[in-house]
Amino acid sequence: MSQFDNYWRAQLEQRAGDGLLRQRPLLGSKQGVQVVINGDPILSFASNDYLGFAGDARIAKAAAVAAETHGVGGGASHLVVGHHIEHQRLEDELAAFTGRQKALVFSSGYMANLAVVSTLVGAGDGVFEDKLNHASLIDGGLLSGARFQRYLHNDAVSLQSHVDRFSKRNPDTSSRKLVVTDGVFSMDGDIADLASLSTVCNTERAVLAVDDAHGLGVVGRQGRGTLDLLNMSEEHVPVLVGTFGKAFGTAGAFVAGSAAMIDYLEQFARPYIYTTSMPPMLAAATRRSLKLIQEADDRRERLNRNIEYFRDGADSLSLKLMASNTAIQPIMIGESASAMSVSSCLKEQGILVGAIRPPTVPKNTARLRITLSSEHSIEMLDRLFDGLAIAKQENYL
């Protein structure tokens, strides 16, 4: 017991009273479309394992072989003695994959984003973020000490007006401006209008940073991500972040860009410097995954088939879909309690769909976040439709 326990208890009770208390479903199997949660088998539409690589035996084998050879622990931070040859190879391969001079590997996407945004700008600079950016990008902006502003979702006109205001107040041309956006938005599934954002950046001498956690591996040629899909080069988007916890099916993240930027981050990014390196076996597993991703056109085709099939089926049920053509297919509900009701109704039918509530999404925009995988069969999607139809009959939807 600490003297703060009463305060913590009260906060938890309030959160429970608001219907916003969250549970951790207990996963008793490997990740995939068919999992065991709290001891029961369930059909899952809730993970970010878009290509079914999280439980892939070839990637597990690469990890096991590397663990045998190199052990498990990184043992030190990169700048001390934790930078392993497997990390270096992964960075070289990621640089080639993204067509950039260099890449830098992190243990998680949260840390990569914290490092990038908080290190590339500082006091006297401006950082401009989409309202719906991932929490890690927002936190990086707050930590940076730069003037932090959020523009309307995917709205280059709103960005422009924020930048204008900043420039008026800060005529000093040495102040840097960083514009930060998700590539594919994690809770809405829509894709950033990178062309328009990049036009604003060009005229305003701002630098555009894209976090493509949900695009890499999934969209673009050979899974090269949102930039490839939208024909955006490094000139348009100098700062590219990718993560391994989603389509790659492993864990960790990277930043790719010019040698100057990566060298700078290596020296100055505190979330990079003051942490133990990712286990080398994980770097080895991710290298295997990077190869598989590039050869996974068949999986991407199946995923796209599933996206189309899902949207058609949801349309027939008159469900409120969002403007997404990616693997993230939210159904907008509104009230948190209603989203929970649909989610539990589905769970009773052996179907797992996440109910996403504030503070993860804005107030009154609670939603079901359905994520599709290449490994879902048409029969599985039909089961989901049956479940949603029942939730509808019961007036939960």
Ligand X SMILES: *Cc1c(COP(=O)(O)O)cnc(C)c1O
Q: Which residues bind ligand X (CB under 6 A)?
A: 108-110, 113, 134, 136, 182, 186, 211, 213-214, 243, 245, 253
* CA distance readout (Å), 350 to 16, 38, 371, 373, 376: 25, 12, 16, 17, 15
Q: How many CB atoms are located within 10 Å of the residue 325 CB?
A: 15
| CA atoms of 53 and 292, how far apart (whole Å) | 9
Minimum distance from CB of 133 to ligand X (Å)? Answer: 8
Which of residues 44 and 136 has its CB atom nearest to ligand X in the complex?
136
Minimum distance from CB of 212 to ligand X (Å)? Answer: 8
Distance of CA 37 to the CA centre of its chain: 23
Q: How many CB atoms are located within 10 Å of the residue 265 CB?
A: 23
For residue 359, is the peptide bond before it cis, meaning its omega torsion is within 30 degrees of 0?
A: yes
Which of residues 47 and 336 has its CB atom nearest to ligand X in the complex?
47
Minimum distance from CB of 167 to ligand X (Å)? Answer: 28
- In degrees and rounded to multiples of 5, residue 229 shows phi and psi of -55, -40
| CA atoms of 167 and 157, how far apart (whole Å) | 15
Query: Using an 8 Å Cβ cutoff, are 115 and 269 in contact?
Result: yes
Minimum distance from CB of 37 to ligand X (Å)? Answer: 20
Which of residues 50 and 110 has its CB atom nearest to ligand X in the complex?
110
Look up residue 370 and give its amino acid. Answer: I
Query: Using an 8 Å Cβ cutoff, are 322 and 103 in contact?
Result: no
Minimum distance from CB of 126 to ligand X (Å)? Answer: 21
* CA distance readout (Å), 38 to 22, 24, 42, 363: 15, 10, 10, 29
Q: Nearest residue by C-beta to ligand X?
A: 109
Minimum distance from CB of 228 to ligand X (Å)? Answer: 17
Q: Which residues contact 238 (CB under 8 A, 6 or more apart)?
A: 207, 208, 209, 257, 258, 261
Minimum distance from CB of 250 to ligand X (Å)? Answer: 10
Minimum distance from CB of 113 to ligand X (Å)? Answer: 6
Which of residues 109 and 387 has its CB atom nearest to ligand X in the complex?
109
Q: Which residues contact 188 (CB under 8 A, 6 or more apart)?
A: 132, 153, 322, 323, 324, 328, 330
Element (H, E) at 383: helix 378-393
Minimum distance from CB of 312 to ligand X (Å)? Answer: 26
Which of residues 111 and 201 has its CB atom nearest to ligand X in the complex?
111
Which of residues 82 and 252 has its CB atom nearest to ligand X in the complex?
252
Which of residues 229 and 388 has its CB atom nearest to ligand X in the complex?
229
Which of residues 180 and 388 has its CB atom nearest to ligand X in the complex?
180
Minimum distance from CB of 112 to ligand X (Å)? Answer: 7
Which of residues 160 and 329 has its CB atom nearest to ligand X in the complex?
329
Distance of CA 177 to the CA centre of its chain: 23
Which of residues 121 and 253 has its CB atom nearest to ligand X in the complex?
253
* β-pair type (354-356, 207-211): unpaired
